[in-house]
């Protein structure tokens, strides 16, 4: 069981209601100044002026947050490159390319338009580790002390940021204009950051793309579209006669696929398809897939049958990536649609994942609807309980019920109870072979939690 005691940082940066603390202009300015000082201290001296790169999704509050945090960095003598509206993984790429102190993404990912967030990439293009986040969190609590004058950094646009990102993704599969020739793909861009880039990439690689939800207006991001509404891409595939579908979230670091029959694959199914194909072609290093504790146990069975294995990490793509780096593994992901092809990037990238999985599918010569059958899932029951406080889980009466369920399941299932890092929610997952029993237990456990800390 997990708990959270941080004030600002959750599982993926700082997130909340835009224009409400801590996502105000005043605090964003403070964040930029504090982060600028921290990364200047952590970066060895060298030639050239220090810089950061900032990208964002198209939600309306991105403008003022971008301006404020950019001003904070510039006030510390740091040059700020504005990449504009661009997928989150493009910021990771640009951070490495520019030799930046850090990369900053202003996005609330799959959340509605009235939320926003701030997340960081280190100079290596990876999300910050816990120690750096904790140091930044501590410094945000302290007032800034200025002494004398300080240099001033410029705030400038980053030319052709999207175009060069598109070229980099295409280069990862050989930039072959016939790779997806003859393939008709429905694309749901979630009115988000990928509204131009994903279509361009697929078309360069030869696909015929029918693009939907690609006209962001600042408030329609994720609105009844995108990968949090998988039923949308299912309808789009069936209605358009597409061969398959791709759906993103608002900042395009996630994706889900829809097969030829108009049925969405979840992240576990996509990981199973990709990992088994990579074992066959010898590109899954150590025959190991990294998944999270949320992934279905059927994934383990599928990999073991093919001579592979699954290593599990905590929820959050940065934890998956940390496990991949520690073990030198090449592929990992989450049920939610984050996938990391480590040979092609340092973070979850929705269009890189889509292109790589489709490449593997084309190589197999099989339909996606057939390939997905490699995974037989254990029944799962999941519940979300809105909470008024995130009290230590071990202190809840419901904790005793969790232990009872675990004892009954033995080795043929598991229980996972954790707080969301981005919302006031407690998430419950029970997995076992008896579907009705785990549904009943999930209801009972959710009711206990609601009675204690429901809000």
Catalytic residue numbers, as ranges: 109
The answer to whether 366 touches 420, Cβ cutoff 8 Å, is no
284 φ/ψ angles, rounded to the nearest 5 degrees? -90, 100
Rounded Cα–Cα distance for residues 279 and 307 (Å): 8
The contacts of residue 267 (CB under 8 Å, 6+ apart) are: 256, 295, 333, 334, 335, 336, 337, 338, 339
Strand bridging mode 331-333 / 288-292: parallel
Q: How far apart are CA 195 and CA 97, in angstroms?
A: 23
Phi and psi based region of residue 226 (left: phi greater than 0; alpha: psi -120 to 50; beta: remaining)? left
Q: What share of the chain is helix, strand, coil (3-state, %, to 5)?
A: 40, 20, 40
The rounded distance, in Å, linking the Cα atoms of 154 and 151 is 10
Based on DSSP, count helices (H) and strands (E) in the chain, helices before strands: 14, 19
H or E segment and range at residue 236: helix 230-240
Query: H or E element: which one contains 361?
Result: helix 350-364
Length reported for the chain: 455
Among 207, 171, 213, 156, residue whose Cα is nearest residue 190 = 213
How far does CA 65 lie from the centroid of its chain? 20
d(CA 297, CA 304): 11
């Amino acid at each position: 069981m997990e708990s959270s005691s941080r004030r600002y940082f959750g599982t993926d940066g700082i997130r909340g209601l835009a224009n409400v603390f801590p996502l105000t202009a005043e605090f964003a300015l403070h964040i930029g100044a504090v982060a600028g000082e921290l990364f200047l201290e952590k970066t060895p001296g060298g030639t050239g002026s220090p810089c950061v790169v900032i990208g964002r999704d198209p939600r309306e509050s991105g403008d003022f947050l971008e301006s404020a945090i950019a001003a904070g960095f510039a006030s510390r003598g740091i040059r700020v490159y504005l990449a504009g509206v661009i997928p989150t993984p493009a910021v990771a790429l640009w951070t490495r390319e520019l030799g930046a102190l850090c990369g900053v993404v202003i996005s609330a990912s799959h959340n509605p338009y009235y939320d926003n967030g701030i997340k960081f990439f280190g100079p290596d293009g990876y999300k910050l580790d816990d120690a750096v986040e904790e140091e930044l969190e501590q410094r945000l609590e302290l007032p800034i002390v200025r002494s004398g004058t300080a240099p001033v950094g410029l705030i400038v646009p980053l030319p052709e940021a999207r175009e060069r990102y598109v070229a980099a993704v295409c280069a990862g599969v050989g930039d072959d204009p016939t790779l997806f020739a003859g393939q008709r793909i429905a694309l749901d861009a979630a009115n988000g950051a990928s509204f131009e880039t994903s279509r361009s990439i697929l078309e360069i690689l030869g696909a015929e793309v029918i693009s939907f939800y690609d006209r962001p207006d600042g408030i329609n991001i994720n609105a009844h579209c995108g990968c949090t509404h998988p039923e949308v891409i299912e309808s789009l595939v069936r209605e358009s006669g597409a061969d398959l579908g791709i759906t993103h979230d608002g900042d395009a670091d996630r994706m889900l696929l829809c097969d030829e029959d108009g049925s969405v694959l979840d992240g576990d199914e996509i990981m199973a398809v990709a990992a088994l194909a990579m074992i066959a072609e010898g590109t899954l290093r150590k025959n190991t897939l990294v998944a999270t504790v949320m992934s279905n146990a059927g994934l383990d069975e599928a990999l073991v049958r093919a001579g592979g294995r699954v290593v599990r990490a905590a929820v959050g793509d940065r934890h998956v990536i940390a496990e991949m780096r520690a073990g030198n593994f090449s592929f990992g992901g989450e049920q939610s649609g984050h996938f990391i092809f480590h040979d092609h990037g340092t973070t979850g990238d929705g269009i890189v994942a889509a292109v790589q999985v489709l490449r593997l599918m084309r190589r197999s010569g099989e339909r996606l609807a057939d390939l997905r059958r490699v995974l037989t899932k254990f029944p799962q029951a999941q519940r979300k309980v809105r909470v008024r406080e995130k009290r230590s889980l071990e202190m809840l009466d419901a904790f005793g019920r969790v232990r009872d369920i675990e004892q009954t399941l033995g080795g043929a299932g598991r229980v996972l109870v954790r707080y969301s890092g981005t919302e006031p929610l407690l998430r419950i997952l029970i997995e076992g072979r008896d579907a009705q029993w785990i549904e009943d237990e999930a209801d009972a456990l959710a009711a206990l939690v609601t009675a204690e800390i429901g809000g």
